[in-house]
Amino acid sequence: MNQFQADKIKNIALTGHHGSGKTALAEALLFAAGASDRHGKIADGTTVCDYDPEEIRRKASLSTALAGFAYDGSWINLLDTPGILDFAGEQLSGITAADTVLITVSAKSGVRVGTRKAYAAARSMNKATMFAITKIDDKDANFYNVLTDLKTVFGPTVCPVVVPVIKDSEIVSYVNLIEMKAYTYDGNGKSVEVPLPNEETTDKEYRLEGLLAAITEAVAETDEALMEKFFEGEAFTQKELIDGIHRGMNSGQITPVVCTSAATMAGIDMLLKEFGLLVPAANEVPPAQAASGEEPVEIVCDAAAPLAALVCKTVADPFVGKMSYLKILSGKIAPDMTVTNARTGSEEKLGKLYTLLGKKQTEIKAAEAGDIIAAVKISACTGDTLCDAARVAQAEMPVFPHPCYSMAVRAKNQGDESKISAGMQRLVEEDPTLTYEQDPSTKEMILSGLGEQHLEIAVNKLKTKFGAEVKLSEPQVAYRETIRRKVEAEGKHKKQSGGHGQYGHVKIAFEPCVSDELVFEEKVFGGSVPKNYFPAVEKGLQDCVKKGVLAGCPVVGLKAILLDGSYHPVDSSEMAFKMAASIAYKEGMRQADPVMLEPINTLVVTAPDENTGDIMGELNKRRGRVLGMEPAGKGETAITAEVPMREMHDFAMYLRQVTRGMGSFTMEFLRYEPLPSNLLPEVIAAIAATNEE
């Protein structure tokens, strides 16, 4: 059993831009804390958190991994999240489960898009934040430039706590500004205290006095008594600094900055120490927001309260079954408990519970408020809240990014359809940013996600985990056909082949109308076509409108009026009149000026102000019509446009490239419009090629 209570539990998500050193930092922390007996390397595929075969092959995190360990009287739950933009949903799941977000920033490349997005997500969910400037040992590292960057982008809350001392472009020691002590590190990451540097021993414009003054001022902002002491010119004690930063982190007033090297282990021990001193415990963070019916509810982290556990992440495993990461918001949890799913209202019995260290599972007999654990073989999905029946409340989850990149899915091997469907269902349960649905118009199965890499990984998982191989192709566009003028056409079906013959004769008027379905009327006088054959004529036309005469696309906006015809008392039949209607349809459609229709969508793009010109130019190239722009806040603009679906398949990739990942968009079907005549041959040829496959 995990014996730690909420006041000793620290839940920390590692986030940041792709390649900024999150997994390497997690590995160094686990090794330094004694949770791992070796210092694993990403290049060797031996890290604790990147254990999935796909992650090892690509040398990158693709999902959030949980690593819980005890250190210096506290239980620390590390959540290593991906930095690749295609896996933003995984990052949000990790931030949701955490109470503090530690954002890694490379000392080489500085503040990037992933840095901004991680910080924005953390602040939107009211999480404490902290920066770790990584790869400080690299020859191209520049800690103080990155620190200036952080202050410029994120404001005066950025507060350095551990800084390097640099002489002749080399790091000679690390200074903990709270303790005002300096340390050097040997090749194994062991620290030795050394004298504090002075002006002669550094070559930087940053002086320790100035950095300490910045900390003191930030701490003074957190408490009135400290503010008075600050104005009186008195120095803060070490305890006052620690308590002030701790309080400031929890309120969002202070974002501490440390520096580390995962490769040399320099600064790792100090970061672990700051986890214990500065990072808020699980019971110190603001209450979780929830809803009980229509009423808002606050769930306080209290082991004595009724159980509330949020399913933050789901992992699909073909052998173990579904594994769910649970953040225990309040109460206590144990195996074999019966809980209520707040979303569905159904009861569920829990099975075994585990703490996780990457892929290593340790069974536990109980856990309580503040902890993050794993439960297996429960039916709840990501975002569900498992509750005590005495208080059923649904906790808030962030809004996950909407899938914006789609591909059609086809089985590589005949007979795999059921395996594909079952596997995709499990993957969709695992990833809220992934959808797998049938297009009602084209009948294709469509897999949608956040980008090319996202879908590629999903397809690889489908193959390795569930043994089903698929091919991806660009989805078909749901074209339609219609007519532009009124015509009359006759259809006569006459056949004599011994015995009863076949005879049906109709005269039908075809005209445009506003309807997605065929509109059928009859204006027959004098019984030229008996009433009992009217349904056969309509049925024949209903079958025909499934395929137009240009490219075989469904026909819309068509009204058919049965005007006249003739019949034979012996040879006429329903089948004969269906055939006659079909002949009249084909003849009439050719004469009625048929036209192809393409779907038009409403597009709303949110992007940085500096990119709006490029985006509007691109939309014009894609035959879009920009309707307007309006400020979207924080230096962003929302562009509204009408765009043809045919031109938008790769727009997500374009937008990510031009905005460096800062742009987003939503797109919804609006209406159909005639396809430009110059594109008609190309579209007809493409549809014909698809039908042949």
- Looking at residue 692, its pLDDT comes to 66
Q: What is the model's pLDDT at position 691?
A: 72
Q: What is the mean pLDDT of residues 558-580?
A: 88
How many CB atoms are located within 10 Å of the residue 392 CB?
Answer: 21
User: 581-615: string of b/e by CB count within 10 Å (b at 16+)?
Assistant: bbbbbebbbeebebbbbbbbbebebbbbeebbeeb
Specify whether 57 is located in the same domain as 199: yes
| 168 within a domain of the structure (yes/no) | yes
Kind plus residue range of the DSSP H or E element containing 436:
strand 435-438
Domain boundary among 592, 611, 626: 592
pLDDT at res. 416: 84
Residue 206 confidence (pLDDT) above 80 = no
CA distance 546 to 556: 9
Burial status of residue 421 (CB atoms within 10 A of its CB: 0-12, 13-18, 19 or more): middle
Is residue 414 scored above 90 in pLDDT? no
The total number of structural domains in the chain stands at: 5
Token duo for residue 428: 């969709």
pLDDT at 560 over 80: yes
Q: Which long-range contacts (CB under 8 A, 24 or more apart) does 221-225 make?
A: 221/248, 221/253, 222/247, 222/248, 222/251, 222/253, 222/254, 223/247
pLDDT in tens, 26-38: 999 999 999 999 9
Q: Report the range of poorest mean pLDDT among 314-328, 459-473, 623-637, 651-665.
A: 314-328
| Token digits of residue 659 | 């905005």
Q: Tell whether the model's pLDDT for residue 318 goes beyond 70.
A: no
Same domain, 270 and 292: no
Quick one: 350 and 415 in the same domain? no
Query: Please, which pLDDT band fits residue 1 given cuts at 50, 70 and 90?
Result: very low
What is the rounded average pLDDT of the residues 390-409?
A: 91
CATH number for the domain harbouring residue 450: 3.30.70.870
582 and 660 inside one domain: no
Last residue of one domain, picked from the residues 342, 374, 395: 395
Considering 253, 277, 301, which residue would you say is the last residue of a domain?
277
Predicted pLDDT of residue 34: 92
What is the identity of the amino acid at 404? C
pLDDT for 583-596, tens place per residue? 999 999 999 999 99
Please write the tens of the pLDDT for every residue from 36-48: 999 989 989 999 9
Give CA–CA dist 76/102, Å, rounded: 13
Comparison of pLDDT for 198 and 242, the residue scoring more: 242
pLDDT of residue 214: 84
Note whether 592 and 548 are within 8 A (CB): no
Query: How distant, in Å, are the alpha carbons of 99, 470, 537, 566, 593 from that of 577?
Result: 72, 44, 6, 10, 25
Does the structure show a pLDDT above 60 at 2? Answer: no
Q: Please report the pLDDT score of residue 632 as a whole number.
A: 85
The confidence score (pLDDT) of residue 335 equals: 92
Q: What pTM was estimated for this model as a whole?
A: 0.87
Rounded CA separation 624/620 (Å): 5
Q: How many CB atoms are located within 10 Å of the residue 380 CB?
A: 25
Which residues constitute the domain of residue 625? 597-692
* Residue 30 resides in a domain: yes
Mean pLDDT value of segment 219-226: 87
Does residue 609 carry a pLDDT above 50? yes
Amino acid 290: pLDDT: 92
pLDDT of residue 499: 62
- Please, what is the average pLDDT of the chain? 90
Residues facing residue 333 across a β-bridge: 367
Q: What is the pLDDT of residue 205?
A: 47
DSSP 65-93: EEEEEEETTEEEEEEE---SGGGHHHHHH
φ and ψ at residue 636, rounded to 5 degrees: -120, 155
Residue 400 inside a domain? The answer is no
Length of the chain: 693
* 77-112 pLDDT per residue, tens: 999 999 999 999 999 999 999 999 999 999 999 999
**What counts of helices (H) and strands (E) characterise the chain?**
16, 37
Same domain, 103 and 242: yes
For residue 687, give the 3-state DSSP assignment.
helix
The percent of residues in the chain predicted with pLDDT above 90, rounded, is 69
What 3-state DSSP class applies to 129?
Answer: strand
